[in-house]
Structure 1
Amino acid sequence: MYKQVLSNKNFLYYLVGGSVSRLGDILTGLAFLFVAYDLTGSKLHTTGVVIAETLPYLFFGLLGGVIADWVNKKRLMIFIDIIRVPLILSTVVLFHFDFLNYTYLLLISFAVQTLGCFFNPSFRAMLPIIITSSEQRNIANSLYDSLTRGITVLSPIITVLLIQTVGEIHFFTLDAFTYVISVIAISMITVKTKQMNTDDKKDLKNAFRSLIEFAQWVKKQHTVRSLFLLTFVMVFLNTWLWEVGLLLSLLDMSDEGKSLFSILQGGYGAVVIITNLLIPLIWKKLSLKTYLIGSIIWGIGLVFLGFAMNIPMYFVGAAVVGIGIPITGLTRVYIIQNYIPEDMHGKGFSLNAVLLYLADTISLIIFGVLSTFVSLNLLFVVNGFAIVVIVGVIFIIRYRVYKPEKKHRMTH
């Protein structure tokens, strides 16, 4: 099963480009945080860097999808990676000459993430062009997500080694190197990507018109519309709990909360990798029903974390979440690739990214405030239970009352 997909050289180049870029993204994200704190010593200013990384997706995320659908994806990605190399290296040069300041760090962070708004939908939309079989796409998505998740699990080890040897500033140097590797890998991909007719005007007015047309199309597609709505709800209910609430719960439980959180994240990542690899063996094709099943498992994991009374229970809860999240993640990518027409893939993936970042932001604000007067355990239980109930109701309505719609038939 996996052998056939891995025999595709274009997919192997795709894997190399994506995995090294993922490593670079992780290291750069940490570098911006570390360097910002070193320069200012302020938690508020450090938070400002995080905001500078998320705002571009809210401002330009949808536009990036339109551009990705308009132009040659391969050329666009190579062009963006080439631009990102000097941008990232400029921070290293200024640091060594003692000219690096917080304002410049914010600008570079914002600029790099803005470029990512155009690169990421192009990269995701490239896979359906490389892998035309829907069944093989399921396998390809599993392999790609497993590899990038593995890099995420290993990144703390790489981070410690770099800090103890060359220093935090050279996280940026390694990131620039990953962009070079990405350029080489993407340039080796030989498939031709479609682009808009050269007679069509490509201006801002037409970009917004294209977005409106896509929104109208999504409105008529029950499966795609439901997917995007569920994605927003799930991420909103989960983000703060997983990124902040879980750490705070472990700190309340043990003096070694930080270490336990890191170990738990590593165990969670291992479960995600195993689940990713098993999904193609269980489901040849994914659907909204699969997404709902994954969501219910995800919600059960959060409820379990809410009732956790000792450290082993936290690991069990995290493992259950680690089964649910990759099922929903791979299904979301599969539905976008197979239910949305190829000439709209860029907009589909960019809308997905915008919804994720918007849900993240709202979740961090609302539940961050609620946590000041509501117990963490109660938030885990209520949010997890809410996921199970919401998804359960949708499941009953869609698969017991109404017949599921057929997916969009794509032409190649």
Structure 2
Amino acid sequence: MTATEAVEVRTPAWRGGFGRLWSAAVVSRFGDALRTAALPLLAASLTDDPLLIASVTACGYLPWLLFGLLGGAVADRVDQRRAMWSVDLVRGALMAAFAAAVALGQASIALLLALAFTLTTLQTLFDNAATALLPSLVPRQALGSANARLMTGQQIAGGFLAAPLVPVLLLVGVAMPHAANALTYGVAALLIASLRAEPPERAPRKTGSTLRGEIAEGIRTLWRDRTLRGLCLATTLVNIGMGGVIATLVLHVTGWLDAGNSGYALTLTAYGVGSVVGGLLAKRLAERTGRIRAVFLAGAVQTGCLVALGTVRETWAAIVCLGVFGVMGMVWNVNQTTLTQERSPTEMLGRISAAFRTLALAGAPLGALLGGVAAAGWGLNTPALLAAGLFLLGAASLGPLIN
């Protein structure tokens, strides 16, 4: 079956491995969202230096650029299930210790920076192992449905359930969001440890094989696959555009649209709701059109949304555009991840998925910088139009893959 043919979609069984992996992923994302919302507030209470506060967020991205490819190579070498629950136990212990430090008034900016960097470093192994583990838990025909359910559940937990809970937990105590995050890591570790997945069959490593050589082999394999190469290029382009939009959206809504904080909150909510709807639609669209066509369609529609966002000076238009943008974003993510799992050799899936993630996260800060320059030089609506051009290029790069 080629990448452009319609695909058979099956629904993964909740019993057994997939249900536990889904529960672990959702619980873990919930805890991560609690920490992500609480850490900047804690940083702001410790210093008024904007650079130091921003550095806490930056430390949550930097390890992907430094260790993302390494995490993928390690994930291909080890028992992925064991790696995941071991990482979560370590992360849980770190968060418990950090929560205790916060409760005792011993938190500092240096500690926040070290924590953010260490947790994300561990995440490079966890996320790549999780992507590589899923195909051993569900049938090949159910991968698309499984990815859609995973991403939708994580979006609901992180985008809708965790954020409103943070102020409530802070009323109980400043350390409570971090203690709750530690607990979620422990629960996720137990769920993953209970999996009974058979490790994938791997060919014996060549004598003298090194991690650097294995990383290079994974990148070469990705480059030789025409579909994965085109998809990787398209994903990199759209993530540069996304970085610019995300970095300047608050200025776009509150400044160019003059919609205030309430308008900004509504646009974010619309995007979140759209993402959930996209998770529900992704497998149906792929079943009718094929995965590459679904990704191409998502990019084309998102391009139109960005053009409208940058030209129509109405709050309601921004809300509608970002809602549809969220739908198509989830369609893209689900099918891109599934295509990677379907087309990658089992023994290289960790490395190939790591290359996608590393390029995506490298594109985001570059896009943020470009968006800031565009907004300062040509107007607050121009980052959306710049992103539209990048999305158009991304969608166009997929054209040759469609027969």
- What TM-score do you get using the length of structure 2 for normalisation? 0.92
1:348 aligns with 2:352: yes
Please state how far the C-alpha of 1:390 moved relative to its aligned partner: 5.1
1:283 aligns with 2:286: yes
Please state how far the C-alpha of 1:275 moved relative to its aligned partner: 2.0
Kindly tell me the number of residue pairs found equivalent between the two proteins. 394
Indicate the residue corresponding to 2:184 in structure 1.
178
The letter of the residue matching 1:339 is R
Counterpart Cα distance in 1 of 2:193 and 2:207: 27
| CA displacement 1:159-203 (0-9 Å, x = unmatched) | 23223x32343211011000111011111211112375677679x
1:23 to 26, 30, 34: 30
| CA displacement 1:235-278 (0-9 Å, x = unmatched) | 1012221x232211111156652222222212221122112112
- Return 189-198 or 330-339, whichever deviates more: 189-198
1:214 to 199, 218, 221: 218
Counterpart Cα distance in 1 of 2:137 and 2:240: 33
The letter of the residue matching 2:200 is K
- Greater RCO, CA 8 A, separation 6+: 2
Counterpart Cα distance in 1 of 2:249 and 2:300: 19
The letter of the residue matching 1:361 is P
Counterpart Cα distance in 2 of 1:198 and 1:183: 29
Structure 1 residues 67 and 381, CA, compared in 2 at 3 Å: closer, same or farther?
same
Counterpart Cα distance in 1 of 2:207 and 2:264: 51
The letter of the residue matching 2:127 is N
Counterpart Cα distance in 2 of 1:116 and 1:244: 23
Structure 1 residues 126 and 308, CA, compared in 2 at 3 Å: closer, same or farther?
same
Please state how far the C-alpha of 1:394 moved relative to its aligned partner: 4.5
Structure 1 residues 7 and 48, CA, compared in 2 at 3 Å: closer, same or farther?
closer
Q: Is the 8 A contact 1:68 1:122 kept in 2?
A: yes
SS of 2:195's equivalent in the other structure is coil
| CA displacement 1:375-395 (0-9 Å, x = unmatched) | 122332243144235524641
Q: Is the 8 A contact 2:71 2:128 kept in 1?
A: yes
Indicate the residue corresponding to 1:189 in structure 2.
195
The letter of the residue matching 1:391 is A
Indicate the residue corresponding to 2:147 in structure 1.
141
Counterpart Cα distance in 2 of 1:119 and 1:127: 12
Indicate the residue corresponding to 1:11 in structure 2.
18
1:259 aligns with 2:266: no
2:92 to 85, 92, 97: 85
1:231 to 229, 232, 235: 235
The letter of the residue matching 1:280 is K
**Identity percentage over the alignment?**
20
Q: Is the 8 A contact 2:73 2:211 kept in 1?
A: yes
**Which structure 2 residues correspond to residues 2-401 of structure 1 after superposition, within 5 A?**
4-134=11-141, 136-151=142-157, 152-163=159-170, 165-194=171-200, 206-241=210-245, 243-253=246-256, 257-284=260-287, 286-388=290-392, 391-392=395-396, 394-395=398-399, 397-399=400-402
Counterpart Cα distance in 2 of 1:24 and 1:7: 22
Q: Is the 8 A contact 1:22 1:148 kept in 2?
A: yes
Please state how far the C-alpha of 1:2 moved relative to its aligned partner: 9.8
- What TM-score do you get using the length of structure 1 for normalisation? 0.90
Structure 1 residues 254 and 159, CA, compared in 2 at 3 Å: closer, same or farther?
farther
- Return 120-129 or 246-255, whichever deviates more: 246-255
The letter of the residue matching 2:229 is R
Please state how far the C-alpha of 1:336 moved relative to its aligned partner: 0.7
- Return 227-236 or 98-107, whichever deviates more: 98-107
Counterpart Cα distance in 2 of 1:155 and 1:210: 38
Indicate the residue corresponding to 1:408 in structure 2.
none
| CA displacement 1:217-241 (0-9 Å, x = unmatched) | 1221110011111111001012221
Structure 1 residues 317 and 125, CA, compared in 2 at 3 Å: closer, same or farther?
same
| Structure 1: runs of 5 or more not aligned | 404-412
Please state how far the C-alpha of 1:128 moved relative to its aligned partner: 0.8
SS of 2:110's equivalent in the other structure is helix
SS of 1:92's equivalent in the other structure is helix
Structure 1 residues 162 and 259, CA, compared in 2 at 3 Å: closer, same or farther?
farther
| Structure 2: runs of 5 or more not aligned | 1-7
Structure 1 consecutive aligned stretches of length 4 or more whose deviation exceeds 4 Å: 1-4, 195-202, 253-256
Structure 1 residues 173 and 3, CA, compared in 2 at 3 Å: closer, same or farther?
farther
Counterpart Cα distance in 2 of 1:210 and 1:2: 33
- Return 57-66 or 40-49, whichever deviates more: 40-49
SS of 2:43's equivalent in the other structure is helix
- Return 282-291 or 191-200, whichever deviates more: 191-200
Q: Is the 8 A contact 2:228 2:340 kept in 1?
A: yes
The letter of the residue matching 1:138 is G
Counterpart Cα distance in 2 of 1:129 and 1:393: 31
